[in-house]
Amino acid sequence: MKLDILTKNDNRVVQNSIISQIRDLINFKNLEPGDKLPSERMLSEKFEVSRNNIREAIQKLEFYGLLKSIPQSGTFIANIGGVALNGMVDDILRLEDPDFKSLVETRILLELKTARLAALRRSEDDLIQLEEALNAYKEKVLNSEDAVEEDLLFHLAIAKAAGNSTLNTLMLMITPEIITNFEAYHVCDKSQARAGIIEHENIFEAIKEQDPKKAKEMMKVHFSVLYQYCYSKK
Amino acid sequence: MKLDILTKNDNRVVQNSIISQIRDLINFKNLEPGDKLPSERMLSEKFEVSRNNIREAIQKLEFYGLLKSIPQSGTFIANIGGVALNGMVDDILRLEDPDFKSLVETRILLELKTARLAALRRSEDDLIQLEEALNAYKEKVLNSEDAVEEDLLFHLAIAKAAGNSTLNTLMLMITPEIITNFEAYHVCDKSQARAGIIEHENIFEAIKEQDPKKAKEMMKVHFSVLYQYCYSKK
DNA sequence: CCAATTAAACTGGTTTACCAATATTATAAA
DNA sequence: TTTATAATATTGGTAAACCAGTTTAATTGG
């Protein structure tokens, strides 16, 4: 039997199973915020999985702020009540691989915001870095070379100039997935690369002029192709 | 000497150091996309750190799409050129703990979007779950009980109804950090809890009526206090 | 009977040893 | 010389052993 396909998602399946079991345990034992979870060893024995699996599941719940591990002491339930905890665990379990449309839609949202904020907040140093990124992009395109990277770096430079560390992080998180999917879906159109130069220049000028409205609008134009793709196709 | 404060960030410091060393290695050896990185054992010896540290650093770079580990084979550089790789590594290294202002600003952005999308896309089932969350919130507030969790769950229900898995994930990621910071900063005002009911109801009605503009507007009103805090204070 | 002290057990974190799959080299047959 | 095969070395992943604190239980002195 060809079960190879399944093995790839095995880890996730196991982890989700453990997370839901931990949730059930908290509910069944009526554990409250601040209470201590059974030790990793006990859990691994109880759930019949490796301690590594338990640790990974706990780390994931810790990432979302539901648990807190303290060395040589134990793992504790964060200061969050049962209702919210159950709701968030359900959400975490329901997290699936993002579809391309979601990714694009979210990226456009983030980029419009970063463009606006960059126009409002960019420092002189930001401007220099933006111009460098822009020139690197232009040079590649004019030489008819592949400029995907330079394009990406320009957008990340905008995110940096926006002066919002959270937005910057989120951009960084979804960008690689965008790229891989982008190539897979063949949405990118090389013939539009030269049009891309003008669009990039317009965005840069708007940020330079500190015109947030124009920056957002120019970014919108830049994403119009993707935008249509995102909202037309089903 | 009191170095206790440092030990907390030791891991991150070590990891960032390893990441930058990997970057330098790739640059120095002129490694290209698809090339194989030295084995984890060699790297741990070369950088004089544990193999665990190396693995964590690699996993982080893998998360951002820069590397790809293949079991029993090796770790390979993703299909991304040197320029972009260096730029993204710099960004990753520069990632700091998000400040509260960034968090709030980003949350507002995401919530305005999810409210709009929820109004456009909510299913009948979404509506039921939204109403349940709303009622749970109202009940708590009318009993003068703490309703932070129910508030949170209502907002997460909106995110779910927005039908965008990426947005949903991002919301889930920043929410816990918001909560902890929220309590720490004492921004929340209990006296406004009853006003919150009306605001929540308005948002719900807008989503029910499938009025995206109103939904966004009502959400904006709901965040007005936070909004002012975010944009007034420095 | 109680408080203080000590010893044992237990904790999350870390290092080490091991595994199965892969990649490389050595060998041999043609 | 070339190709097919077998033996060896190397790989990322994983399970087990170990560690330094912490927590609990036992012991002891009053």
- Greater pLDDT, B207 or A176: B207
Residues A133 and A206 in one domain: yes
- Greater pLDDT, A204 or B4: A204
The pTM (predicted TM-score) of the whole model is 0.85
Residues in A closer than 8 angstroms to B64, CB to CB, are 172-173, 176
User: Is some CB atom of chain B closer than 8 A to the CB atom of A173?
Assistant: yes
Which of A94, A120, A153 terminates a domain? The answer is A94
Residue B172 has pLDDT above 50, yes or no: yes
Distance between the alpha carbon (CA) of B77 and the C1' atom of C17, Å: 29
CA dihedral A26, A27, A31, A32 (to 10 degrees): 110
- Residue-level pLDDT at B226: 75
Q: Which of A191-195, B60-64, B133-137 has the lowest mean pLDDT?
A: A191-195
Average pLDDT, stretch B142-164? 89
Smallest CA–CA separation between B44 and chain A, in Å? Answer: 21
Residues B84 and B176 in one domain: no
- Greater pLDDT, B29 or B230: B29
Rounded CA-CA distance B170/A91 in Å is 12
Rounded CA-CA distance A91/B23 in Å is 36
- Write the CATH number for B53: 1.10.10.10
Residues B27 and B134 in one domain: no
User: Is some CB atom of chain A closer than 8 A to the CB atom of B173?
Assistant: yes
Residues A81 and A108 in one domain: no
Average pLDDT, stretch B113-142? 96
pLDDT tens digits, chain A, 234 residues: what are they?
A: 233 334 445 677 889 999 999 999 999 999 999 999 999 999 999 999 999 999 999 999 998 889 999 999 999 999 888 888 998 898 888 776 778 889 889 999 999 999 999 999 999 999 999 999 999 999 998 998 888 888 888 999 999 999 999 999 899 888 877 776 766 655 555 667 778 899 999 999 999 999 999 999 999 999 987 777 666 654
| Residue A179 identity (one-letter amino acid) | I
Rounded CA-CA distance A118/A163 in Å is 7
Residues B90 and B108 in one domain: no
- Residue-level pLDDT at B10: 66
Using alpha carbons, select from A169, A117, A91, A12 the residue that is nearest to residue B162. Answer: A91
| pLDDT digit string, tens, across residues A110-152 | 999 999 999 999 999 999 999 999 999 999 989 988 888 888 8
User: Is some CB atom of chain B closer than 8 A to the CB atom of A135?
Assistant: no
- φ and ψ at residue B74, rounded to 5 degrees: 155, 180
Mutation for B interface: A72, A77, A107, A169, most B CBs within 10 A: A169
Residues B147 and B224 in one domain: yes
Average pLDDT, stretch B41-62? 95
- Residue-level pLDDT at A131: 97
Average pLDDT, stretch B89-105? 84
| pLDDT digit string, tens, across residues B180-206 | 676 665 555 566 777 889 999 999 999
With an 8 Å Cβ cutoff, are B169 and A98 in contact?
yes
Measured on CA atoms in the order A24, B160, A231, A156, is the torsion positive or negative? Answer: negative
Residues B70 and B114 in one domain: no
Distances (CA, A) of B136 to A30, B130, B149, B192, B219: 20, 10, 10, 17, 19
pLDDT bucket at B4, cuts 50 / 70 / 90: very low
CB-count burial class (<10 Å; 0-12, 13-18, 19+) for B70: exposed
Which strand D bases fall within 7 angstroms of a protein CB? 10-16, 20-23
**How many domains does one find in chain A?**
2
Average pLDDT, chain B: 87
Which of B55, B78, B94 terminates a domain? The answer is B94
- Write the CATH number for B145: 1.20.120.530
CB count within 10 Å of CB A169 equals: 21
Using alpha carbons, select from B82, B145, B117 the residue that is nearest to residue B210. Answer: B117
With an 8 Å Cβ cutoff, are A168 and B84 in contact?
no
Question: The tokens of B45 are what?
Answer: 């010896």
Smallest CA–CA separation between B65 and chain A, in Å? Answer: 5
Average pLDDT, stretch B15-24? 95
Residues B175 and B207 in one domain: yes
Residues A152 and A217 in one domain: yes
Whether B227 contacts B108, CB under 8 Å? yes
Q: Which of A148-152, B87-91, B159-163 has the highest mean pLDDT?
A: B159-163
CA angle, B186 as apex, B185 and B187 as ends, to 5°? 90
- Residue-level pLDDT at A3: 32
Minimal Cα distance from A230: which residue of B?
B164
pLDDT bucket at B8, cuts 50 / 70 / 90: very low
**Residue B189, by phi and psi: left (phi above 0), alpha (psi -120 to 50) or beta?**
beta
Residue partners of A36: CB distance under 8 A and separation at least 6? A74, A75, A76, A77
CB pairs under 8 A between A and B: 132
User: Is some CB atom of chain A closer than 8 A to the CB atom of B188?
Assistant: no
Residues in A closer than 8 angstroms to B96, CB to CB, are 165
Question: Would you call A230 helix, strand, or coil by DSSP?
Answer: helix
Whether A5 contacts A36, CB under 8 Å? no
Distance between the alpha carbon (CA) of B73 and the C1' atom of C29, Å: 30
- Greater pLDDT, B216 or B6: B216
User: Is some CB atom of chain B closer than 8 A to the CB atom of A153?
Assistant: yes
User: Is some CB atom of chain A closer than 8 A to the CB atom of B84?
Assistant: yes
Residues A168 and A198 in one domain: yes
Residues B14 and B114 in one domain: no
Distance between the alpha carbon (CA) of B72 and the C1' atom of D5, Å: 22
Which strand C bases fall within 7 angstroms of a protein CB? 10-16, 20-23
Q: Which of A84, A98, A153 sits opposite B84 (nearest CB)?
A: A153
User: Is some CB atom of chain B closer than 8 A to the CB atom of A70?
Assistant: no
Q: Which of B81, B106, B169 sits opposite A164 (nearest CB)?
A: B106
Question: Would you call B70 helix, strand, or coil by DSSP?
Answer: strand
Distance between the alpha carbon (CA) of B32 and the C1' atom of C30, Å: 40
Distance between the alpha carbon (CA) of B68 and the C1' atom of C24, Å: 21
Which of A41, A65, A94 terminates a domain? The answer is A94
Domain that holds residue B183: 100-232
Rounded CA-CA distance B176/A168 in Å is 18
Using alpha carbons, select from B48, B168, B3, B64 the residue that is nearest to residue A97. Answer: B168
Smallest CA–CA separation between B67 and chain A, in Å? Answer: 11
B7 touches strand D (CB under 7 A): no
Average pLDDT, stretch B134-149? 89
Rounded CA-CA distance B184/B41 in Å is 43
> Residues 44-63, chain A: which have Cβ under 7 A from strand C?
55
Residues A115 and A223 in one domain: yes
Residue B212 has pLDDT above 90, yes or no: yes
Residue B2 has pLDDT above 80, yes or no: no
